[in-house]
Structure 1
Amino acid sequence: MTDKLRETQDSEFLIFKGQTFTYDDLLTRISFFQKELEQNGIREGECVALIGDYSPNAIFLLMALLLNRNIVVPLSNESREKHLDMFEDAKVNQIIEINENDSWTLREGSESASHPLLDDLREKGESGIIIFTSGTSGKSKASVLSAGRLLEKYKTAKRKPLRTLIFLKLDHIGGINTLFAILFNGGTIVTSDSRTPESVYQAVDKHAVQVLPATPTFLNMMLMSKADAGYNLSSLQLITYGTEPMPQSTLRGIHRLFPDVRLKQTYGLTELGIFSTKSKDSQSTWMKVGCAGTETKITGGTLWVRSESAMLGYLNAPSPFDEDGWYDTGDQVETDGEYIRILGRKSEIINVGGEKVFPAEVESVFLEIPNVRDVLITGRKNPITGEIVAAEAVLEKEEDIKSFRKRAVAHCRQKLQPYQIPQIISVTDRKLSNDRFKKIRNV
């Protein structure tokens, strides 16, 4: 890994709060932290929680821990209320915390705990990464990944070095993917002061960002904010999106806002890693999924994947793989030749009298309604039809609820089948997405 980094040692590696670091700085600091880990008694094979957001020392320590053959558990500051449970699930031995000023502290976790998946990595002398699933539809699961298997694809991938704004954090498989894709191609990481549309626009303008990875929920926030005025965004070449279905209305809006920017859908899961994709075009949610070492198949309308970079298993749940190594993604898809379109998770389908309703499809239509900032579509039990569709909307400005419901139903009747139209419509000011900017559906 360090040999690859030496190829671009004079290039910019990171722009953080006005400071610029080169790849030579990265190599120097990795070496420094390897010695610090040794002096602080962090042994090979120990499970180490790394708490912090994107910062120089967070990246330096992550790399040093992997080279020290540790099993790293990246955690964000935004998930603090879950940390104690995560420490227990991940059998954490040591805890490193990155503070706001980018200094770091070390404290002990639990006594050495055993688990077959962790023991397997230790016996092979491999480093690992434990990433918790988002938990949007239930309890977060602790996925154990072999760092070697995960990083293998980056060694051969050749891409042009670009300036990429980091959006997804280190505790997300998308954030890990973005980091190593940049590093192995000699690109530049750009951070923003916060994860708000205004801060992202400012970073793109100030640092000539070329690539913006985001989620559909955040891209919709960018549209609703109307905060792009006054910023020079001409450097932007590519926007990638994933982690949840993209509402067609949001995709159209982003294409109108950035007509010269290529929009690309990504696909991946914590359990499998991120795969190469090819979108039909910038205005399409149809894509091809696959890369070397990855196989896909459609069974009963659901996408199944078998991948060489797949996780070893969960620490706190049974293995989800079948006997041949296939993983049921739970994603319902449509097919068009080699292309697929993600309709939504099987677990999120609303069954209205035997008819399937996909929340993302209804959300796309609802977001077209004037004064709607965001919406969450869920199913509610009903004694006659089994379930009915419910909409919880966040409005731009206050509006009489009866008037809003009337407008919303009228709009939905023009675009949706009768069984898809929300029968319950409420207005809320609560946040509808989690700290990974993904819709919360397990409410």
Structure 2
Amino acid sequence: MQEYSMLTERFRRFGDRTALVWRDRAYSYAWLGAQIGTMRERLQAEGIERAVVSLETEYSPYAAAAVFALLGQSCVVLPIDGSLVAAKIEEYLDIGEAQVRIGADEAGLSIRRREGAEVRHPLLLGLLLQRVPGLVLFSSGSTGRSKAAVHRADRLLAKFRAEGRAAKTIPFMMFDHIGGMNTMLTTLANGGCLHVLKDRSPEEVCRTIERYGIEALPVSPTFMNLLLLSGAHRMHDLSSLKVVSYGSEVMPVHTLAAWNAAFPDVRAVQAYGMSELGVLKTKSKSSDSLLFSLQGDGASYRIVDGLLEIKAESAMIGYLNAPDPFTEDGWLRTGDEAVVEDGYIRILGRRSEIINVGGEKVYPAEVESVLQELAGIEEVVVSAETSGITGQMVMATVKLREDMEPSLGELRRRIWTFCRDKLPAHKIPQKIVITRESLTSNRLKKIRKPQAQEGNPNLNG
């Protein structure tokens, strides 16, 4: 594959430059290139080529090397976070029709064959027959069952033909997430350095930025809010940070405003990506704006009946376990409601998450942005609840700060008083649920279907 050779040749040229820092130890590009070669030799000795393979491991230099080694063997790779529960891993293996299970760590590759596994899906068979390496990326499943998106790896790598700016970056998203995979590929393709976190707590992120002079941080809006609430940024020197890119969910207006107030010298950029699309190049209208445009990557967009549709060279070739989301003329239906303002795109929310109150649309992110301004609220998720009168009503599931223990009645009154001059009546939550459990997934996104709940009051009494 031309793109694979391009990147491995670039690694050789970067030589002793540091590629990754893991557990406070530096790994050079020379090491990375040699490790890729060693792993390919092992795979060849085991006869693993043109196979569907799971890569089950944590984020590390060995995981990065294994990704490239497997692509070099024309394999279809299922990156899987090794910390997932066994049942979820088995689900992914079955959906992805994995023939071989591989782990990667300091000891090298661990290889287990799945007896009786057979590749039957036409998309997977097509890649193997054409000797085209692939990636199968699973959506987060925060609003339902995970979907398996199949990508041609050559199309994902093609965007890195032009070498860009090297940066010290934290790979915040896991490598089995499209955002995490994109951060890894972008940083390494441009000769930057990936600083792998020990954990993804605000304290550890800030410590890493200060210690290593991190310049770029790709995160979710949910994490940005958690970092601000933690106050960890006030305990560390974060002056090296130049850009924060956010995506994977709608950014609440309040969170962006609070972030820019705390980091006035850091450029905030809205990213746009999906498991189905890859991560597209974007340009925000400004750091304090939720408007953005698509920049290159052969990507174009249109809005049909209020829904954003995108055509891009990096788009997947299809799902393994879901209906085809492409239109007859090749546009991907993203499922995002959007509008165009001053020539820029603004994402309003997922259509599947919109609450319909008596025919009036309510976007959860809009209500969440208001509620996050209310003192004492640490996390909040807004969702639909069935109503016999209006069809649906707005429900807010709230996690309060540990030092806050108001009664349910008191919280209802506070929310109603706070929201009544900020939101139309139909957007004010009519049901409040208090939870002690986190409303954030392991991918640091809001959980749109929270499970742990207490209470069942109605604001209207």
Task: Report if TM-score (shorter chain) is over 0.5.
Answer: yes
| 2:369 equivalent in structure 1 | 364
- Work out the CA distance in 2 between the residues paired with 1:291 and 1:384: 48
Report the 3-state secondary structure (helix = DSSP H, G, I; strand = E; otherwise coil) of the residue aligned with 1:229.
helix
1:243 corresponds, among 236, 248, 252, to 248
Q: Which runs of 4+ in 1 moved over 3 A?
A: 101-104
The letter for the 2-side match of 1:28 is A
Q: Which moved further from structure 2: 307-316 or 385-394?
A: 307-316
| 1:429 equivalent in structure 2 | 436
Q: Is the counterpart of residue 318 in structure 1 residue 332 in structure 2?
A: no
| 1:39 equivalent in structure 2 | 45
| 2:31 equivalent in structure 1 | 25
2:423 corresponds, among 409, 416, 434, to 416
Per the normalisation by structure 2, the TM-score is 0.93
| 1:147 equivalent in structure 2 | 153
For structure 1, the 5+ residue unaligned runs are none
* 1:290 CA drift (Å): 4.0
1:63 corresponds, among 68, 74, 77, to 68
- Work out the CA distance in 1 between the residues paired with 2:339 and 2:366: 13
* 1:433 CA drift (Å): 2.1
1:272 corresponds, among 231, 256, 277, to 277
The letter for the 1-side match of 2:448 is R
Report the 3-state secondary structure (helix = DSSP H, G, I; strand = E; otherwise coil) of the residue aligned with 2:20.
strand
1:59-208 alignment, distance < 5 Å = 59-80=64-85, 81-98=87-104, 104-110=109-115, 111-156=117-162, 158-208=163-213
* 1:10 CA drift (Å): 2.3
1:380-399 alignment, distance < 5 Å = 380-396=385-401, 397-399=403-405
- Work out the CA distance in 2 between the residues paired with 1:71 and 1:112: 13
Report the 3-state secondary structure (helix = DSSP H, G, I; strand = E; otherwise coil) of the residue aligned with 2:197.
coil
User: Percent identity of the aligned residues?
Assistant: 39
> Residues 124, 104 of structure 1: CA spacing in aligned structure 2 closer, same or farther, 3 A cutoff?
closer
Per the normalisation by structure 1, the TM-score is 0.97
* 1:103 CA drift (Å): 5.3
Instruction: Let me know the Cα RMSD of the aligned residues.
Output: 1.3
Q: For each residue in 1:298-345, what CA deviation from the matched residue of structure 2 results, as whole angstroms up to 9, or x when unmatched? A: 111111011111111111122211211111111111211320111100
| 8 Å CA contact retained: 1:71, 1:127 | yes
For structure 2, the 5+ residue unaligned runs are 1-6, 451-461
- Work out the CA distance in 2 between the residues paired with 1:50 and 1:407: 49
Report the 3-state secondary structure (helix = DSSP H, G, I; strand = E; otherwise coil) of the residue aligned with 1:415.
coil
Q: Is the counterpart of residue 215 in structure 1 residue 220 in structure 2?
A: yes
* 1:7 CA drift (Å): 2.6
| 1:347 equivalent in structure 2 | 352
2:58 corresponds, among 38, 53, 56, to 53
| 8 Å CA contact retained: 1:78, 1:435 | no
Q: Which moved further from structure 2: 274-283 or 431-440?
A: 431-440
Q: Which moved further from structure 2: 27-36 or 334-343?
A: 334-343
| 8 Å CA contact retained: 2:16, 2:28 | yes
Report the 3-state secondary structure (helix = DSSP H, G, I; strand = E; otherwise coil) of the residue aligned with 1:244.
coil
Q: Which moved further from structure 2: 71-80 or 273-282?
A: 71-80
